[in-house]
Amino acid sequence: MENEELFVGESALDAQQQARNIRRTADGSKQTPLQVHAEPLLAGDDFDDGPPHYEEDPRDIEARPRWRRPSIWWLLPFGMLFTLGFGGLAVPRINLIMSLICRDYFSERMAKDPNFTVLPIVFGDDNAQCQIPEISSLVAQCQLYLNLVTGIISALVSPRLGHMSDRYGRTKIIAMGAMGAVLNEMITVIVASRPESLSVNLLFIGAVMDGLGGSFTTAQALIHSYATDCTPPDRRSVAFGLFHGTLFLGIAAGPSGAAYLIKQTGTALPVFYIGLACHIIFVLSVFFVVPESLSKERQLAAREKHYTKLADSEDVKWYSWKALNPMKLITPLAILLPAVGRPSVLFSNRRGASPALRRNIVLLAAMDTACFGIAMGTAQLIIIYAAYMFNWGNVESSLFVSIINVIRVINLFVVLPIVARFFRTPTPNDGTIRGSDMLDIVIIRLSIVFDVLGYVGYALSKHPSMMVLSGIVASLGGMGSPTLQSSLTKHVPQERIGQLLGATGLLHALARVVAPTVLNLIYSLTVATYPQTVFICLAALFGLTLLMSFLIRPHVTVEDEAASDIVVEANEDGEDEHDRLLSR
């Protein structure tokens, strides 16, 4: 029971603040502070004793010229720059790490055995002498540690950046988070420009910088929040798909451009400079050009509520158990467990979540996290595996990444919008929670089937052409991720979507730690004996995810539970009845 108070919603907070305002006005000792205008938790609910509903001043956004109003079309082209830099640096970064580790490995061998000789390591070139199991294993371990550093830090930072975006706007926080990627690329450029004298360990400083900015997992959640702010619910799945398609388009075009530059110049250094320039332009564009999607009034209301929380926790010491409780790390995940029979952060006091709705939310979140974790864990592992099995270099690996991502882009830019237009039944935008429809569930199941076939193909590939074909089949499952995330948003009220996406951002950050750790560990332990083991394990995991998809029920909603009403009443100390029950 002690930890349950971490998952209490904000309705009690509003009542506490109102009670404080009334007491201060009555005794005349203090001025009444600025009233927090809380949004209703669910459309149509009436709270007779609560604070007045927040009404957004339309002048902040609607008074702008039409061309300066928030839209996904503002963010899409600038997001392309970010993904171009991210995709273009993927393969050269791995090869830079491989060259540095290969140099250190053979230097250590020569130090132990003076008679040992090896061909010199040429940075930016395909070094055949480095294509051995020992070095492949060391590269996988290095990638594991880099992902651990970035993932752990971003898991701690992501929820905080998400809350800050509610208080200070989406674009400012997106730009601030992307500065971590800029600093990371700066350090990478420094190492790539002087690889003969600098250590691979300097890249860990860049990983720390990237993690402090929340990495791209936070950027993705914030971008989806921006899209949610300015996109009607019936178009949200297509909007998410467009952003996913932009990501894959950048990842597809980036390696192709990188391969061309490397082939023309004979060195990978220009690719690192261009990638850094793309990230810098993205930060400046989002901060100065892209219009903000949250009005000033909504930002101010969020700040006032945040200050009220801080005022209530003034007496909590930073070294106390309540402040250091590790359960605070998973507090944002409370929205994934809406309660039945008591108020929750997801639903109002007068409605509860049906068991089917709760099960859908948990299943969709788990499936989305699994798919994201596998994508993160295998993005670089597949390149390392192909370099080891088929002696692929920068050019071959870049072309492979481009081919599979072009297929994803076609799926998300062409196939998904056409399917949604002709097969999705229109629904009114009345705020009703309807859950996933059958089209969502069919797309999710079909996408997972393609993933299973693709990873089985990776395990059975004996020729480069079979490897490419397997990648194409796996890329056909690219519609699954945006459909899973858009389906999640259909299970929560409109005003809680940002909180939901923040929780999925935290899950993605944790998956970025766990999945690469496990997969790289499996590969490093089996690369010398049976390197296909990791793909067999992934095919089995996707099979389990497919079974989970058959438990999802379509068209679930909330259920009225009048007997479960719990009225929040603020006492003289600002403590509500629910808090008193939890404290016993």
**Enclosing H/E stretch for 257:** helix 236-265
- Report the b/e string of 22-52 with b at 16+ CB within 10 A: eeeeeeeeeeeeeebbbbbbbeeeebeebee
Tens of pLDDT, residue by residue over 412-433, are 888 888 888 888 776 665 557 7
Report, at the CATH architecture level, how domain 75-301+353-558 is classified. Up-down Bundle (1.20)
Q: Which residue ranges of the chain lie beneath pLDDT 70?
A: 1-62, 117, 124-126, 233-234, 312-332, 334-335, 337-353, 426-431, 494-499, 559-584
C-alpha 265/C-alpha 278 separation (Å) is 20
Burial environment of residue 530 by CB neighbours within 10 A (0 to 12, 13 to 18, 19 or more):
exposed
Task: Report pLDDT for 329.
Answer: 63
Task: Report pLDDT for 312.
Answer: 65
Task: Report pLDDT for 348.
Answer: 40
C-alpha 398/C-alpha 94 separation (Å) is 11
Closest to 370 (Cα-Cα) out of 548, 144, 214, 159:
548
C-alpha 341/C-alpha 565 separation (Å) is 7
Report which residue type is found at 520: N
- Sequence-distant (6+) residues with CB within 8 A of 359 are 551, 552, 553
Report how far apart, in Å, the C-alpha atoms of 11 and of each of 17, 238, 305, 322, 392 are: 10, 33, 11, 21, 57
The neighbouring-strand residues paired with 558 are 353
The neighbouring-strand residues paired with 53 are 38
**Helices 480-489 & 236-265 angle (0-180, nearest 10):** 150
Tell me the chain's radius of gyration from C-alpha atoms. 26
Task: Report pLDDT for 207.
Answer: 92
Residue ranges of domains in the chain: 1-51, 75-301+353-558
- Sequence-distant (6+) residues with CB within 8 A of 167 are 299, 302, 303, 306
CA angle, residues 505, 510, 514, in degrees to nearest 5 = 145
3-state secondary structure of 343: coil
